[in-house]
Structure formats: structure tokens, C-alpha cells
Amino acid sequence: MSAKLLNTRFSSLTLVTKRFLAIRSDSDVANRMKIFNQQKKYQKTIELFHEHKQIYDIAQCSSYITAQLLKACVQLNNVSLGKMIHHQISSDMANNPFVLLQLISLYSKC
């Protein structure tokens, strides 16, 4: 009985730790993307996302990451990647003001 209880608590601790690392990693990636965009290294922003793609599904990314990724697409005139991202995000995400601003910029390039 005590082994089962210990195993359950260990599993819970493992889940909490993984969640914390994912949140921290999400924040770190978003901040790095913002820095690349501020330095006009838009291709680096896209490359950084692709490096972490196995961790992030675009539909599960924060609005901050999505907006930074779309901004890089706009600046590089990469409308096809921007459209692909747009089709993968939720309608709630698309209505986020920061994401929406980048989508308007993207489609104005068409």
C-alpha cells in the first residue's frame, strides 16, 4: 500500500516538474524570439521555432510565440508560412490582439 502511495506521489511530482519546465521553456523561447525580431534577425526567429517544434505544436503555443513567429513571417514576406500558421491556430488565438495585428500585416502583403 505504501509503495503504491509513494509511486502516485512520485508520478504527481514528475508531472508538476515537467509542466514547470515546459512553461519556463515556453517563456525562454518567446523572449529569444522577441530579441531576434528586435535585432531584425527574422530568419533566426523561424529557425528557433523549428528547433523547438518537437516540443511545441503551433496550436499549443502561447499567443506571444505565435505573434513573434508571425512577425518574422511578415518581415521576410513569407506569406505561405504565415498562412500555414494561421490555419493551425485556434479562433481564440487568432482573436488575440497581438496575433490579429500580425495576421492583418501578413495578409496585407498578399
* Confidence band of 12 (pLDDT split at 50, 70, 90): low
C-alpha cell at 2: 505504501
How far CA 104 is from CA of 54, 97, 101, in Å, comes to 28, 10, 5
What is the rounded distance in angstroms from the CA atom of residue 66 to the CA atom of residue 59? 9
Domain of residue 46, residue span:
2-108
- Buried-exposed string 69-82: b where 16+ CB fall within 10 A, e elsewhere: bbbbbbbeebeebb
Q: What is the pLDDT of residues 77-108, one digit of tens each?
A: 999 999 999 999 998 999 999 999 999 999 99
Identity of the residue numbered 40:
K
Q: What is the pLDDT of residues 33-53, one digit of tens each?
A: 999 999 999 999 999 988 887
Q: How many domains does the chain have?
A: 1
Q: What is the pLDDT of residues 50-83, one digit of tens each?
A: 888 766 677 778 899 999 999 999 999 999 999 9
